[in-house]
Amino acid sequence: MRKSLFFTACYLLVALGVSAQIPALERVEPMFWWVGMSNPNVQLIVHGKDIASRNVQLNYPGVKLVAVHKVENPNYLFLDLRILSAASPGTFPIKFIKAGEKTLTYAYSLKKRDHSSSRAQGVTDKDLIYLIMPDRFSNGDTKNDSVAGMRETSVDRGKMFSRHGGDLQGIMNHLDYLKDMGVTTVWLTPAIENDEPNASYHGYAVTDHYKIDPRYGTNELYKQFVEKCHKMGMKVVMDLVHNHAGTEGYTISDMPMKSWVHQWPKYTKSNFKYEAVMDIHASPMDRKLMLDGWFDHRMADMNENNGYVQNFLTQNHIWWVEYSGVDGFRLDTYPYNDPEYMAKWAVDVKTEFPRLSIFGEVLTNSPVISAYFTQGNTVSRGLDTHLPGITDAVIKNGIYDALMDWNGGVEHLYELLAQDFLYKDVNQNVIFLDNHDMSRALSMVKEDVVKYKSAMAMLMTLRGIPQMYYGDEILMKNYSNPDGLVREDFPGGWAGDKSNKFTAAGRSTKENEAFNYIRTLANFRKNTPALQTGKMMQFIPGNGVYVYFRYDNLKTIMIVYNSLEKEQSITTDRYAERINGTLKARNVVTDDAVELSKLTIPAKTTLVLELLPNNTH
């Protein structure tokens, strides 16, 4: 997330500046709902000029108007509906009546739920996630590059903070490429509308929670994207932002009430310190700054203690799952949210979609801090967050420590993994090497391709759910200083690009070597349950060699990493309890046969060995 600092306009001026311009019935959200939800209650947010001066009527069998709430801003009404089990799918009018004026009518629809098994199926340790920034991957529809009426209409691929034109159609055009590589899940940074005047490409300043950004496509196209992934045997993760919203969105520019967002006498940013939430000795003001401070002047901090805000966010997220069938949520800036609300949110969402997966962005060097935010109250927090997993930055840092001999080197990675007991289910953590906010993996290892391959081998074989960042497979590089440098376009995603790295012919020899290495490991993992749901056993590193195993009742995989800058030969007696008398193995990458009694490991190299039955010839 970008954290540039500006001043914010006061609530009153913002509200008055919009209310005079909106139509009498500007919108109703959720714009439609479904019968048969586990929770029969839904709260509609109605926005229109002086809409609160009108009475509300509806008459539909099985639907009861429980309450009409008027709030500070007369441009809003909140309608509590109860959809009984007797309700049938259909459309009915909601009437807004005022004496002496024309009655306003909204045709509200109740739809039938889609219970197809391929929808909301969850992302697990059987999957490999591929993270894409839609604006930077591929431009499949040039007609939506510039959309009239939006605050940012220019497209300039020469500027890192401008829009470049990538879209949903471009991603859909290259799903075959991802599937061939072994990817099973696609995670997009937010594709929801970000109608901000600058740097709107990154997606984390939402201005319309119910609308795909038209520069990416339409709601219907997003649904088609999810359906196409499902037909190809792949899944989709949707990126959500609870903590803040773009200031140009209607609920911020014309707020229902002042308490819709966290208000300060002047612009006040978060202190970005997780410890302030955890610390039993913490200053209350430090905790308030962490949770209630703003990320950026254009990212209003949502007040999740407000019941109307809670309903607005939770219902929106449930709506997207039922509408599109997405399989999981990644929760942006998770520790900055109200803990009690987020715990309730997780329960509410999982009640509707039991298989849906959820993981939160938690970026820390400490396993204890990571575990603090996960489910099960395993570190005596006193609150069960019901958050199954987090982005496991601890293991990311541990892998780099092992590769670059930082912080104790390979022994530190071993020690970090030894603390997995802190989690209720560590296998639901998402492990990764880089993302849209971080320096790319190749640059982190100083462009040493041997170390880079070792990093990828660990990513594909350690516990948890592995996640790649677009372009990792073709050796895209750069440091996140600024972050735009790690958000470059994927070469070949635009007509006229000098090279098309979606094809082997468009890649250099070194790029094809990296691509084929990752493709081999990813597809091996995809077809090897021992690397997905199997157990893990690690051995204390010795002489710079780190060995761990992934295994189940059918197969055992041995991973051997030599952290030294010189070749080493080792005997394998030390690992007899897992080798269990096996004589030979297959090098998964090279397909060569390997004698297990003695192994030779090149400098900084990781071997991935599939143990073979002794009767194999």
Query: At 35, is the pLDDT very low, low, confident or very high (cuts 50, 70, 90)?
Result: very high
Q: Which two tokens stand for residue 580?
A: 């269990």
What's the gap between Cα 457 and its chain centre? Answer: 23
Domains of the chain with bracketed CATH:
535-611 (2.60.40.1180)
Q: According to the model, what pLDDT value does residue 18 have?
A: 53
Query: At 616, is the pLDDT very low, low, confident or very high (cuts 50, 70, 90)?
Result: low
Is 550 in contact with 534 (CB distance < 8 Å)? yes
Is 416 in contact with 395 (CB distance < 8 Å)? yes
The pLDDT of residue 16 is above 90? no
**Cα separation, 336 vs 108, whole angstroms:** 35
Ramachandran angles phi, psi of 524, nearest 5° = -65, -45
| Beta-strand relationship, 545-551 and 535-538 | antiparallel
Q: According to the model, what pLDDT value does residue 14 have?
A: 42
For 210-255, the pLDDT digits (tens) are 999 999 999 999 999 999 999 999 999 999 999 999 999 999 999 9
Average pLDDT value for residue range 336-365 = 98
Average pLDDT value for residue range 422-431 = 98
The pLDDT of residue 17 is above 80? no
Q: According to the model, what pLDDT value does residue 114 have?
A: 95
The pLDDT of residue 9 is above 90? no
Q: According to the model, what pLDDT value does residue 11 have?
A: 40
Average pLDDT value for residue range 337-350 = 98
Q: In sequence order, what DSSP letters do the residues of 187-225 get, joined into one string?
A: EESP-EE---SSSGGG--S-SEEEEE-TTT--HHHHHHH
Is 583 in contact with 450 (CB distance < 8 Å)? no
The residue length of the chain stands at 617
30: preceding bond cis by omega (within 30 degrees): yes
Query: At 21, is the pLDDT very low, low, confident or very high (cuts 50, 70, 90)?
Result: confident
Across the chain, mean pLDDT equals 95
For 597-610, the pLDDT digits (tens) are 999 999 999 999 99
Average pLDDT value for residue range 189-211 = 96
Average pLDDT value for residue range 79-98 = 97
**Residues labelled catalytic:** 332, 361
Q: According to the model, what pLDDT value does residue 230 have?
A: 98
Query: At 266, is the pLDDT very low, low, confident or very high (cuts 50, 70, 90)?
Result: very high
Is 154 in contact with 201 (CB distance < 8 Å)? no
Q: According to the model, what pLDDT value does residue 20 have?
A: 57
For 89-148, the pLDDT digits (tens) are 999 999 999 999 999 999 999 999 999 999 999 999 999 999 999 999 999 999 999 999
The pLDDT of residue 490 is above 50? yes
Q: Which two tokens stand for residue 73?
A: 């801003």
